[in-house]
Structure 1
Amino acid sequence: MAYFTNFKMMMLFTLFTLTSNAVFATEVPETNKSNKPIPEATKFVTQHKGTFNGKNLNYKVVAGETYLLDKNEQPTASIFSFDYLVGDEKNNRPVTFIWNGGPGSSSNWLHMGGYGPKRVVVPSDAAHPGTAPYELQEAPETILDITDMVFVDPVGTGYSRALGETESKAFWGLNEDASSIADFIAQWLTKENRWNAPIFLLGESYGTTRAAAVSKVLMDKHLINVNGIIFVSQALDYQGSSPYVDDNIVSYITYIPTMAATAWYHQKVDTSGSFEAFIDASRQFAVDELLPALFKGNTLSTAERARIVEGLQRYTGLSKQYIERVDLRINAFRFAKELLREDGIAIGLLDGRYKIDERDDVSADPKTDAAKVISPAYKAALMHYMRTDLNIQWQRKYLNPSDPALSSNWRWRTAPDGVSWEPKYVNTAPDLSYALRSNPQLKVMVASGYYDMVTPFFDAEYTLNRHGINAEKIDYYYYEGGHMMYVHEPARVSLLTDTRNFIKEQLAQNSEK
């Protein structure tokens, strides 16, 4: 689960038979240069068996800390990760580093819902998941048969913490975060003797922002080429996913296909034809008709305006009166309140399939995100799984949600203090473009949910079709779900199948060099 500006975070925030034994290990010296005690790095090792895509595997889970070191080889932070490992360091097995977004989200969502070998079961039809106990099931469809997996919790999330005299906020920023995660990967490869293993990055939402930036830092700072990147709910250029900025014409375009898909789901538009054809038509309308109209502003003729109003009604299901009142500019967050207003229902932002009966039926936008109802199930499942399956017996608090100070201290500034810098939309697409040009073998898989009103799928297309990115380097996949499309069971299975095939194709490509 992820969100990506401080404003969004305020609005949306919230938003595996097994044997085991525990082992503790010291990874670094016990003191730093200030002589403030640094505790021993901790890890818990458990042995497991499972069948994944027809393959019987013995694997181990190493749940523990990796210390980041400064130039004096002293620890500055502990990054906690859940490492699913098959075989040993001699086999050069691929490693996929996986993280969620936020910024300020632990890896819980992708771990317990998307890619982990066990998953929490929530209703596939976007119904309320109810209360504990929640069901955990084996997830034999996951990708452990072809790649080791490392689920990463950035500093201030999960068990990850700053150490010694280093403050947590030293890691809380766009550039700072990317650097720390790249440092973690390099340190992990050294610790596990996996430097010659194929490497994949997999992030969700802000985790895609991070993945693009990390790919460049890995190359420039550590001389590490990445074999492939998987974006789940792409969020590289925030202009196309910031509908709350009134004069942001781009967002009024990028959200149209998502609103069309959501209106189709709730049967507020004509569903007599093909869903795919309807979505394609909404794309064409947004680019060929709505964009020029908004650009013209008040010079738009009466006839042209009437045609745009009809088109917006056709694809969003909203009334002509409402479309006129908002001056053809439909705020996607307000759409979540308006679509089913006559029924007194608001729909989800992270997943437009979810519904909630809010007390205030006349507010402009939802006061909460209907899709957040799955959060308690994911939290309970992870906490239970860590103690029963992974034998993590630790008194340290698992931060999920993150450190409450993280959001207000997150640094979006990309220039050093004292250097002129004008605030602008976050955008790491140029970092991805740089990595793709520097590494001709690199390709990107983009997974999007049709009903995601936080990171709309058309924005992924808009973003990745620019910035000098070769279209042949990007593979797009679409799913009947929202931001966490894996909540919908058919989408989860398809996502894992598509991810597996993407990784296999990249490995085959590299073997042919």
Structure 2
Amino acid sequence: MKNITANSLLLLLSLCTLVPPAFAKEKNTPASVPEPMVTTTEHKASLNGNRVNYRVTAGETHLKDDKGNPAASIFSIAYTRTDVKNNSERPLMFVFNGGPGSSSVWMHLGVFGPKRVVLPSDAERVGAPPYPIETNPLSLLDVADLVFIDPVGTGYSKPLGDKEGKDFWGVKQDAEILSEFVRVYITRNKRWNSPKYLAGESYGTTRAAAMVKELQEGWGSIDLNGVLLISSILDFQTGDFTAGNDLPYMTFLPTYAATAWYHNALPDKSQYQDLESFLDEVRDFALTDYASVLLKGDLAQPAQIENVVNKLHQYTGLSKRYIEQTDLRINEFRFMKELLRDKGKVVGRLDSRYLGEDESQVSDSFEADPSSYAIDGAYTAALQHYMATDLQIDRDDPYHILSGDVFRNWDWIYGAGARSQGFLAMTPNLSRAMRQNKDFRVFVANGYYDLATPFFATEYSMNHHGMDTSRVTMKYYEAGHMMYIHHPSLEQLVKDIRAFMTNK
């Protein structure tokens, strides 16, 4: 697509580490399609102060195309509480991550599942195994059954028959096949009348919005009670640093400011009472003086430009000379490299609390995301160990944590045909869902230190496209993209989600 640049490619990946290609050319003839591999285990745990008995069904669901031919094998791990008399009206949550190209490991072992890999809370590097894998007492399994889904090309999910991975690697294609998985799941498990939620992180929020349209619109619809958007990216104009698009320079600014605040890089931090009031001031500047100068371009007066340079220096800690050299337009990757350059440090993208060191001190971007390589190995090892031991999954084929092949081959055109232009915008799907379903609600979790999907960009989305903001719950955490790594944020996040689901 014309508007997908190198920077926006990085924006959409939930993590920067790429794994080897998955399923790029894999084909199966119908005769060679094996039976689905499924394991079932029984467990007990103390969750949210309650003793919970539950069943885990981990395995493949084979889906067919509209002609009845094998289409895709979707791997999922489903948690169902077994000590309730009737679960037909019990809430059911379908959970996935983003990428596109990511498995569901992060939300699974980070926040929602009954097991959790415990990482240092304060942006410390994790290092080598062993990693602590513990019962997650904050899991939502006591109040909702959970289904973690791996899209085609991630986890163990793959195409079947004469299908290829590319048949499912696109905004609409992906939403269609995962919506079909939801339909088959609720049919086989007699859950049509259960309250239903979608929970996505990063590109998974884009996927959730696309699935809302596939599930709810038209006859025979599957109406949803709501969606949970963790580190949201819905309208890509807010995050795509392309020539002629000034919006991201405004939407990223409050996160730049929060990052400078955290690392004590502001010229005078003492003049601000707290982070929240500081960010309110930055928001106001971004929407007024800064927006005006960016939109005016060469029409801006010298006094207006000088004011903006001074304010950007005050809010970001970057030198006035550097700000002038960028033409007042600070790219996210340049900011991450420049903020602490004098100290030889770079800040993380997924979580700007993390710090790293590059071989080259003069480049304009980091060599790798410190907040990615700090945690990737722990989640990968923890999931493999958990599946092999607790869930008794005995497989030699690779589990694809994050597939670069999926991402590189993603079809970004959605709903406008071959002449599609402009930026992908998914918020209209949610506002339409609200108009068509009076009970449909939206929960949004934002990390102040998330430079992948900045919170001010999400605020922009929620305040446009006719969203009913009375049915939108916005929450903020002093952490990054995966705010649940930060222990206090995890505890508050779970409390906020529980309140959202009980509508309190």
Q: Compute the TM-score of the two structures, normalised by the length of structure 2.
A: 0.93
Give the paired residue count.
484
Which residue of 1 is the match for residue 147 of structure 2?
150
Residue 105 (1) aligns with residue 102 (2): yes
Residue 124 (1) aligns with residue 126 (2): no
Which residue of 2 is the match for residue 383 of structure 1?
384
Q: Say if 2:155 and 2:401, in contact at 8 Å, map to a contact too.
A: yes
Residue 66 of structure 1 aligns with an amino acid whose one-letter code is T
Which residue of 2 is the match for residue 409 of structure 1?
409
Residue 184 of structure 1 aligns with an amino acid whose one-letter code is F
Task: State the 1:33 CA deviation.
Answer: 12
Q: Say if 1:206 and 1:235, in contact at 8 Å, map to a contact too.
A: yes
Distance in 1, matches of 2:141 and 2:408, equals 37
CA gap 1:79/1:71 in 2 versus in 1, 3 angstroms: same
1:28-56 deviations in whole A, cap 9, x for unaligned? Answer: xxxx9964321111111110001111111
1:272-291 deviations in whole A, cap 9, x for unaligned? Answer: 22211101000001001100
1:277-336 deviations in whole A, cap 9, x for unaligned? Answer: 101000001001100111111111111111111110111111111111111111122110
Q: Which runs of 5+ in 2 are unaligned?
A: 1-5, 19-26
Which residue of 2 is the match for residue 140 of structure 1?
137
**3-state DSSP of counterpart to 1:447:** strand
Which residue of 2 is the match for residue 254 of structure 1?
251
Residue 393 (1) aligns with residue 394 (2): yes
Which residue of 1 is the match for residue 35 of structure 2?
40
Q: Which moved more, 1:69-78 or 1:83-92?
A: 83-92
1:15-40 deviations in whole A, cap 9, x for unaligned? Answer: 7xxxxxxxxxxxxxxxx996432111
CA gap 1:374/1:311 in 2 versus in 1, 3 angstroms: same
**3-state DSSP of counterpart to 1:505:** coil
**3-state DSSP of counterpart to 1:455:** coil
Task: State the 1:95 CA deviation.
Answer: 0.4
Which residue of 1 is the match for residue 333 of structure 2?
333
Match for residue 51 of structure 2 among 35, 45, 56:
56
Which residue of 1 is the match for residue 69 of structure 2?
74
**3-state DSSP of counterpart to 2:433:** helix
Residue 219 of structure 1 aligns with an amino acid whose one-letter code is Q
CA gap 1:456/1:10 in 2 versus in 1, 3 angstroms: closer
Task: State the 1:473 CA deviation.
Answer: 1.6
Residue 264 of structure 1 aligns with an amino acid whose one-letter code is W
Q: Say if 1:79 and 1:159, in contact at 8 Å, map to a contact too.
A: yes
Distance in 1, matches of 2:30 and 2:318, equals 64
Q: Which moved more, 1:64-73 or 1:315-324?
A: 64-73
Distance in 1, matches of 2:125 and 2:29, equals 51
**3-state DSSP of counterpart to 1:405:** helix
Which residue of 2 is the match for residue 25 of structure 1?
none
**3-state DSSP of counterpart to 2:269:** coil
1:427-477 deviations in whole A, cap 9, x for unaligned? Answer: 111111111111111110100100000100000100110001111121100
Which residue of 2 is the match for residue 83 of structure 1?
78
Distance in 2, matches of 1:342 and 1:423, equals 41
Q: Say if 2:253 and 2:286, in contact at 8 Å, map to a contact too.
A: yes
**Identity across the alignment (%):** 44
CA gap 1:293/1:198 in 2 versus in 1, 3 angstroms: same
Which residue of 2 is the match for residue 161 of structure 1?
158
Which residue of 1 is the match for residue 430 of structure 2?
432
1:471-499 deviations in whole A, cap 9, x for unaligned? Answer: 11211000011111111111111111111
Task: State the 1:424 CA deviation.
Answer: 2.1
Distance in 2, matches of 1:287 and 1:245, equals 20
Task: State the 1:116 CA deviation.
Answer: 1.2
Distance in 2, matches of 1:42 and 1:174, equals 27
1:406-432 deviations in whole A, cap 9, x for unaligned? Answer: 22221112258xx54143222111111
CA gap 1:358/1:110 in 2 versus in 1, 3 angstroms: same
Which residue of 1 is the match for residue 23 of structure 2?
none
Q: CA RMSD in A?
A: 1.9
CA gap 1:259/1:4 in 2 versus in 1, 3 angstroms: closer
1:388-417 deviations in whole A, cap 9, x for unaligned? Answer: 111111222211122x4322221112258x
Q: How does 1:99-498 map to 2 (within 5 A)?
A: 99-220=96-217, 222-242=220-240, 244-269=241-266, 270-272=268-270, 273-372=273-372, 373-402=374-403, 404-415=404-415, 419-498=417-496
Distance in 2, matches of 1:4 and 1:323, equals 20
Distance in 2, matches of 1:352 and 1:34, equals 47
Which residue of 1 is the match for residue 500 of structure 2?
502
Q: Say if 2:14 and 2:102, in contact at 8 Å, map to a contact too.
A: no
CA gap 1:119/1:282 in 2 versus in 1, 3 angstroms: same
Distance in 2, matches of 1:409 and 1:435, equals 29
Residue 405 of structure 2 aligns with an amino acid whose one-letter code is A
1:143-197 deviations in whole A, cap 9, x for unaligned? Answer: 1111000011000000101111111111100100111111110010011111111
Residue 173 of structure 1 aligns with an amino acid whose one-letter code is G
Distance in 2, matches of 1:192 and 1:11, equals 31
**3-state DSSP of counterpart to 1:36:** helix
CA gap 1:411/1:4 in 2 versus in 1, 3 angstroms: farther
Distance in 2, matches of 1:33 and 1:365, equals 42
Q: Say if 2:318 and 2:338, in contact at 8 Å, map to a contact too.
A: yes
Residue 350 of structure 2 aligns with an amino acid whose one-letter code is L
Q: Which runs of 5+ in 1 are unaligned?
A: 16-31, 507-513
Match for residue 60 of structure 2 among 65, 82, 86:
65
Q: Say if 1:415 and 1:421, in contact at 8 Å, map to a contact too.
A: no
Distance in 2, matches of 1:76 and 1:287, equals 47
Distance in 1, matches of 2:7 and 2:383, equals 23
Q: Say if 1:333 and 1:453, in contact at 8 Å, map to a contact too.
A: no
**3-state DSSP of counterpart to 2:222:** coil
